[in-house]
Structures are given as structure tokens and as C-alpha cells.
Structure 1
Amino acid sequence: MSRDTREWAWESSTSRGNARLVLLSIADRVPDEQCVAWASLTSLMRRTNASRNAVRSALAALAESGELEVLDDFDGPQHSTVYRLPRAAAWLAKVAAAREDDPDAYVEPLTGADPVPELDENRLRKHRIWPKTGSESDPPRQNLTGSDPAPPRQNPTPARVRSRPRPGSDSDPQNRSEPKVNRRYSSSGAADLVPAADWEIDDASRSWAQQEGHLARLGEQGLQAADAKWRSHRAAWSPRSTATWGADWRTWIAREHNPAPGRPNLYALPGGTPATKAGMTRAEAHTAALLAALDEPTGTE
């Protein structure tokens, strides 16, 4: 279910910069359609590679936009903050209702009149999210981000022995350990990483290309050529998740130029050699080569 929530964040969120990174980091931890997940401020700093103040500002911006809310009546492990993506929850509920009878039914865009489903506390408990007891021992949360996690609850598990989580589905991201910055998951998450050559264009990416007009702009052959060019440039990249490849692929396609006779793509693939047209002067050949070089991605897009 985190995949559907991430897809909503990619396609429908208005957030930008650090706020978008923070929203995607929380969406990646969502276990079901309630769109509720826990995260400490420290873990969000590690995942986004941002400072404490930057993460706090991002959380405040997301709360102001209505795309994120803090569930002050709940606690995650070690008193970590519990968040909810209310608009994502409303969207998933609307899609489920519309496609209950017809899986291919068109779903109207989300409006302010679409309700946010009520929370099911019993399901939250399965994901290690508990209602606060309301005792004086529970420190009050002073701001949106909350303070650093308080000392963990007393755990009867002996030292150096970690209790194994209950078996869950592959879509339950909170059954795995948190990743370090710029490293792969230390557990089963590594199995979800694939090289660019093995990534396949999914239905969502193809629908996006058609809806955004890129398929009509480039044509089927042009889209295939752009896809081959993308795979060639990404061949040296380390394996990534399918969601990451999909987002990178869409960015590439959106920036791909239309084939034009006056602007030949001389370097369609790395290592390609310019093909000088018959009758071209040396100055015209150099100009064409410079134009083609300007189209080449630098790897920092």
C-alpha cells in the first residue's frame, strides 16, 4: 500500500524541495490504506539528508497545506511521532469505491467534498501504533515535529536479542529496518532493487506519457528511442527501486527533444560518433556537434 501512497505523493502533491522529500519518506512507511505511519525526526533527517531545522520547516509546510497531519493521540515505537496523509487516504478510499464494481472505471479528481476515512485503532496496533495512555509520564508534544524519541518502553527481551516482527506482506515497509543514507536496505528491501536494464515500463508510466502528450509528441518510435537512450545512460548506475526508476524515466521523457531535421541527434547513445551530412561544411558540422552535445544529459538531472 505504500506504493499507492507514494504514487499519490509523486503525482498529486503540491509540495516542493525538502517538503516533498519528507512527504515521500513518510509515504514510503505507510502500511495500509489508512495512510498512517510513524517516524522520528532523526530518521527523517537521515532519509532526506537534511538538517533538523530543514525537516521541521518541511513538516510545518506540509501541515499548512493539509497534506500531512500529526496524530497527537497516538505513539509509535519509542514514542516516535505518528503522521497521516489525509488527502492520500481520501483519494485511495475514493478509488476503491469507484472501482468496486468496475476495475477500469475512471475516477474523478479529488475535491474538498471527498471525506477522509475514520481511523481503525485495531489496525493501527498491528503496525506498532498505540493510543496514548494519557498518564503524566507521557511527555506532551510541544510542536509539529515533536522532540527526539523518549527512552524506549521497558522491553523484556534480553540484550542483543531482537524480537522478529510478525510476518507481513511485501507491501508492509515497516517490517524492515530503516535504511542508512545512500545505502541499500539491510534486509529484504535489497531484493526490490533492480538495474535500469531490467526495469520495465509499467502501465502507470505509459498512461502518464499518453496523458501528458509525450507519446503524441515523440511518437511510438521516438518514445522507444528515448527509452533506449535512457537505459544506456543509466546502465552504470547502481540498482534502484522500481518507483525510483519510474520517476527518473518520466523526468527523462519529459525533457527529451523532438527529432528535428535541423537539429540532428548526433550522440543518441554514449560513445556514438557524429555522422556528418553530405554537403556540410566543417563549420556546419561543428555547430551540429555542439547542438547535439547540449542535448546530452550530464548525469546530474
Structure 2
Amino acid sequence: MSLDAQDWVWEHSAAKNTARLVLLAIADKASGADVSAYAGTTFLVRRTNASRTAVIKAVDILVESGELEIVEGSKGPHGETRYRIPHARGHKRKGGTDSVPVQNPNRYGKKTPRGSDSVPGGSGIRTGRGSESAPHNAVNAEHAETTQRGEQAASRPPRPTPEGDTPSPIDVDAFKVTDSMRAWALKTFGPGLDLDYETAQFVDHFRANGTRRPNWPAEWQKWIRRSAKFAAERAARPPLRAVSGGWQPFKNPENQDVYDEPLI
């Protein structure tokens, strides 16, 4: 049934990006007439190679679109959610179990000789083709093995995250300045730095670049340090003076030019 469910996702689902991967991962495990499967968030993160936040958002999108349903009152042995793919119910992929096995050409582009069709008179020898229940080809065999391994892995309890493991990157919109962070900035750099302005500049910069980071407070501290450094450098610059004929370089006691052009 999982092959039929996957075929429905490939051929008929409108899901995109991570949502499509999540739906395929669930379809890979789906079974029964209702096309349902148990799938925890940890399992979906591992199968899609996406962040936990992205997987949770993808499930919400799929449920809202109607391509995925949550079976209420049904949990897996380790608390996994049970999902159902309603539109895949009764779907059969083209060919199915009655399709003729595809003969793959060898690396020279020639078909495998098959008895009387290859040599005049016929040798009477045919390539072995296994039992009726064998997978149609190597691709199906590999897929069946992969599906079995995935179901066995899903039945095991989720592994705990080791201490110190790197968290998943998140968008800068999730960042907030805490009272302790403000206290650190005021204690380190004094009240002369406009923290609200610098924070707004910080968020706008990384949002425009679409940057994701696992530790936004550390990035904010780097930004504040640089801003305080630049502010100190600007304050230390000697003033320019206006003379007839326009702006002129200011001369220090050694008669050396300090700036060659006015500051803007």
C-alpha cells in the first residue's frame, strides 16, 4: 500500500518543498484501507533532513490543505501521531502487480540475449527471472528493503538529544532582546548606544538576507560590540572646519592632513 500512497503523492499532491517530503515520508509507511501511519516529529526530521521547526510547519500546511489528516485518539507505542492521507485511499499506481518486468539494458546498451530470439535456431537458454513473488527489478527490491528498515527504525524509541548538541537554525524574526541582554549592553557600553535602533537595524539586515542562525543572542552581541566600536571611532575623529572656498583638510600641529574630504 505504501507504494500506491507514494505514487498518489508524486502524481496528484500539490504540496511543495518540505511539506512534500513530509507527505512522502508518511506515505512510505502508510498501510491499511485508510492509508494511515504512525510518524513522530523526530522520525520526520530524520527522514526529510529538515529542521524540527520546518517539519512542524509543513505538517500544519498539509493538514490545512486537506492532504493530511490527524487520526484523533490514536497514538503509537512511543507517543507518535497517527496520520492519514485521505485522497490516496483506493489509489492504485499504474501497472501495479500485474505489470511486466522491465528488462534493463546492460552497460553496452544491448539487451540480454533471451534464447531463440538472439541466435538463429535458438540456444534454449533463458535468463533466470526468479519467482512470481520476487520484486520486478532491482529498484523495487531496494525500495522494499529501505521501507522495511524505515519501519523498524520508527518502532524504536527516539534517541535523546545529547547535551551540547547544536540546535537547529531559526529565522531572525524569532529573536527577542531580553532584560538581561539590555543590562549587559548598558553595563558594557553605557547609555550612549541606542539599543532599540541597533536591534531594529540588526533584524532588518538578517531578514533581508534570509539568514538563519542557531544562536541569535550571540549574533546580537557581536552586532552591538561592532556598533559601539564604530560609535567610539566616530566620536574620536577631530572636527572639520569651514573656510572660504569650501571644505578644507584640518591640519594637526605636525601640519599633516587628517581627512582629505568632508564627512557626510
TM-score bucket (shorter structure): 0.3 to 0.5
Larger Rg: 2
Higher fraction of strand:
2
Please report the TM-score for the alignment, with normalisation by the length of structure 2.
Answer: 0.36
Please report the TM-score for the alignment, with normalisation by the length of structure 1.
Answer: 0.32
Q: Which structure exhibits the higher relative contact order, with contacts defined as CA atoms closer than 8 Å and separated by 6 or more residues?
A: 1
